Structure 1
Amino acid sequence: MTDAVAVLGAGMHPWGKWGRPFVEYGLAAARAALADAGVAWPEIQFVAGAATIRNGYPGFVAGAAFAQALGWSGARVCSAYAACASGAQAIDAARAQILAGRCDVALVVGADAAPKGFFRPVGGDRPDDPDWLRFRLLGASNPVYFALYARRRMAVHGATLDDFAAVKVKNARHGRANPNARYRKEVTAEEVADSPVVADPLRLLDICATSDGGAALVLSSMEFARSRGVRSPVRITGLSTVTPAFPKTVLDLPDFATDSALAAAPPERPFRSSIAHAAYAEAGIGPEDLSLAEVYDLSTALELDWYEDIGLCEPGGAEDLLRSGATALGGRVPVNPSGGLACFGEAVPAQAIAQVCELTWQLRGRAEGRQVPDARVGLAVNQGLFGHGSAVVAVR
């Protein structure tokens, strides 16, 4: 048995605000991934759906919802929910089935029809739910948390508004060539600075939108890939879905208090740093091996945090790394060549899958207009509400 699974197909429905049911986006993405893989739907033995909690009962049972839309075939299904990390959980479920020998080829699908504005708690009074409490007690939407992180970065590491704007300018330049991106227009630093303040110090163009979209992957065993004549497929060699370790001393959504570090020493790595490094360890690589990375830029400031969390630089070095051009196309390790959330917006259960779609196209050399030259190793990383880590290493 091998530790790698092949990515035979990748497909997406473009991000936007389309006003249609989420299943339609997932269906379009699934059909695109199947066509890319050269695999017929009846051949799929397992379907993993990344669940969405804002689209009624079909969203909770996304695996079955997508299988029904494609046409019941008898395939096994599962549904995974882990907030922004849902897609990685679904990939992990399919990968586990393949590596365990329970199936040869699987389909992973995630899609969302997102609300306008920011994400709110699902309806109902739930005083035991931290996500409900942070709105009820603090009135703190997601952008408020993003702003707190940004202020901390400014205070601790000397980040400036110009640095945040430079992240947006970079990602907008990358995303203009991506046919699946929602926003395909370059912006200037002046336009970022002139956009309305949403949560000080972050402006409208510093924060990702909420979007509709869908993404899908066809995964298989290496033996199945070879049987289809695919000798050198993109391979997933590392996948991390870690959770925090006690004591957790960094505030993360939706918490509004941290653990005390008086009774126990902090863990070796903070939670967000541990996400990527667990995937590195499984894949047998380090950050120095990366050709590119897709990180979860919910805000421009958070992208800078991710540079440090995935090991591209030491803490406090993200601003210098950005200013050097290392994370832009043509630089040492381009970050978010897809355009990132800055150009897509967030379709929660689809986003981690979309990140792996981008890695797949980059490693195949087919990311037209945004190609990272000679890409061999890619990382996709994000973090979901309630302590869900998500990191995928793909190689070719």
Structure 2
Amino acid sequence: MVDLALAPGRDGLVNAPGDTAGRVAGDIAVLGAGMHPWGKWGHRFVRYGAVAARAALADAGVDWRRVDSVVGANTVRGGYPGQVAGATFARALGWQGARVTSVYAACASGAQAIATARAQILAGQADVVLVVGADAAPKGFFAPAAGDRPDDPDWLRFRVLGATNPCYFGLFARRRMALYGETPEDFARVKVKNAAAGALNPYARYRRRVTAAEVAASPVVADPLRLLDICATSDGGAALVLSGLDFARRHGVARPVRIRAVSTGTPVHPRTALDLPDIATDQAPASGPREDTFRPSIARAAYEEAGTGPQELSFAEVYDLSTALELQWYEDIGLCPPGEAAKLLREGVTALGGRVPVNPSGGLASFGEAVPAQAIAQVCELTWQLRGAAGDRQVAGARVGISVNQGLFGHGSAVVAVR
């Protein structure tokens, strides 16, 4: 493994370089986790979120009236209710006076919601916080962003380059093939691994094992990636009941799963000619290439805050929008040096029963994207694994887990949980 936690701080780390390195903000407890199964159910997102929230409250043994705060992860497809998700879910559960917060960070919205809840708890503003995210996604791949948004780098990617998400995934896969000699057969192994885990997960949309031959026989979407290499879109919901450790003890939970770190940040790419000039100088400042890149910096910040590192991981939940992207995450979270991800996969290190299982939930390969719920669902899986309550997909002796993802407009996140 690569020891990301002990690496020295570098310029370009997320969230005020150098200011957060090694700082431990404080643990919070996960009292309850709940989900609505992923699929294509044809209902509004509110139903999925309310089901997940009630399941999390029941799991926590906490009455809804005891919740001090609701943090909702927004969905852009839900109209006005989706833009004020905290209030929307509070209303669906029955107004009871809780404070409400709504956050949006694309696919990292759920992690931003967890970070907000954690801040409220550690600041003494709330004892118990309910975090909820849910979505009702369109059929097929996500379409390019509508409207005129020239300041949005992802709008530019879609509209100027014509690089839709599958195109981006395909280019990323080609890059790994050129750099490291990976093959479509390696990418197919990721899908086979995740489908085997997802077949054991009652919340997954796709609960069937697949073979490498089935992946190879599926239609080409963005060469070299085929249909089964790319995750679908889904409806679904996820929720967590979070509290301070003192409340957990008073509630009778002596040894809860603890969230030890939440890292949210943005890329450190240099400015380009597409950027607006600096207001003060009327010039675009020169910036050289960074030694550190987006995803590793997110993981490093979480490890440093948690006081741990990849060498202590029991398992990981990573954002497998495509099979090739999962391999990239192995390197980014420090499981191996660059170029050795496929070797880990071939040796079974990241499969259920391996040394560090990756995506024991089945990942997005088995769930699909329900955008605001995804990062919350990852932490649900961390919780169940660390409790030893994941059933047939249980990682033996799980003690430390990390979840990581990335979202549009440069949002990224990592959560470290321990038991």
Q: TM-score category by the smaller chain? A: over 0.9
1:359 equivalent in alignment to 2:382: yes
1:43-192 correspondence to structure 2 within 5 Å? 43-192=66-215
2:332 to 304, 309, 328: 309
Return the alpha-carbon distance in structure 1 between the equivalents of residues 160 and 144 of structure 2. 13
CA pair 122-99 structure 1, distance change in 2 beyond 3 A? same
Return the alpha-carbon distance in structure 1 between the equivalents of residues 103 and 354 of structure 2. 36
1:380 equivalent in alignment to 2:380: no
Classify the secondary structure of the residue corresponding to 2:117: helix
Query: Any gaps of 5 or more consecutive residues in structure 2?
Result: 1-23, 276-284
Q: TM-score, normalised by structure 1?
A: 0.95
Q: Structure 1 counterpart of 2:352, which letter?
A: L
**Shift of residue 333 of structure 1?**
0.3
**Shift of residue 275 of structure 1?**
0.9
CA pair 243-132 structure 1, distance change in 2 beyond 3 A? closer
**Shift of residue 127 of structure 1?**
3.9
2:264 to 228, 241, 244: 241
Cα pair 2:195 2:208 within 8 Å, conserved: yes
Classify the secondary structure of the residue corresponding to 1:389: strand
1:389 equivalent in alignment to 2:408: no
Q: Which residue of 2 aligns with 1:31?
A: 54
Return the alpha-carbon distance in structure 2 between the equivalents of residues 264 and 24 of structure 1. 47
CA pair 138-264 structure 1, distance change in 2 beyond 3 A? closer
Classify the secondary structure of the residue corresponding to 1:108: strand
Return the alpha-carbon distance in structure 2 between the equivalents of residues 286 and 130 of structure 1. 32
Q: Which residue of 1 aligns with 2:4?
A: none
Q: Which residue of 2 aligns with 1:332?
A: 355
CA pair 44-346 structure 1, distance change in 2 beyond 3 A? same
Q: TM-score, normalised by structure 2?
A: 0.90
Classify the secondary structure of the residue corresponding to 2:320: coil
Return the alpha-carbon distance in structure 2 between the equivalents of residues 184 and 296 of structure 1. 18
Map Cα deviations across residues 109-155 of structure 1 (whole Å, 9 max, x no partner): 00000011111245333344433333332322110000010000000
Return the alpha-carbon distance in structure 1 between the equivalents of residues 337 and 310 of structure 2. 12
Cα pair 1:248 1:270 within 8 Å, conserved: no
Cα pair 1:248 1:271 within 8 Å, conserved: no
1:291-306 correspondence to structure 2 within 5 Å? 291-306=314-329
**Shift of residue 270 of structure 1?**
0.7
Task: Output the aligned Cα RMSD.
Answer: 1.7
User: Identical aligned pairs, as a percentage?
Assistant: 75
Cα pair 2:107 2:406 within 8 Å, conserved: yes
Map Cα deviations across residues 337-365 of structure 1 (whole Å, 9 max, x no partner): 00000000010000000000000000000
Return the alpha-carbon distance in structure 1 between the equivalents of residues 25 and 109 of structure 2. 25
1:246-265 correspondence to structure 2 within 5 Å? 246-247=269-270, 263-265=286-288
**Shift of residue 389 of structure 1?**
1.3
**Shift of residue 387 of structure 1?**
1.1
CA pair 238-191 structure 1, distance change in 2 beyond 3 A? same
Cα pair 1:54 1:122 within 8 Å, conserved: no
Q: Which residue of 2 aligns with 1:13?
A: 36
Q: Which residue of 2 aligns with 1:252?
A: none
1:285 equivalent in alignment to 2:305: no
Q: Structure 1 counterpart of 2:32, which letter?
A: G
Classify the secondary structure of the residue corresponding to 2:417: strand
CA pair 280-248 structure 1, distance change in 2 beyond 3 A? farther
Q: Structure 2 counterpart of 1:175, which letter?
A: G
**Shift of residue 266 of structure 1?**
3.1
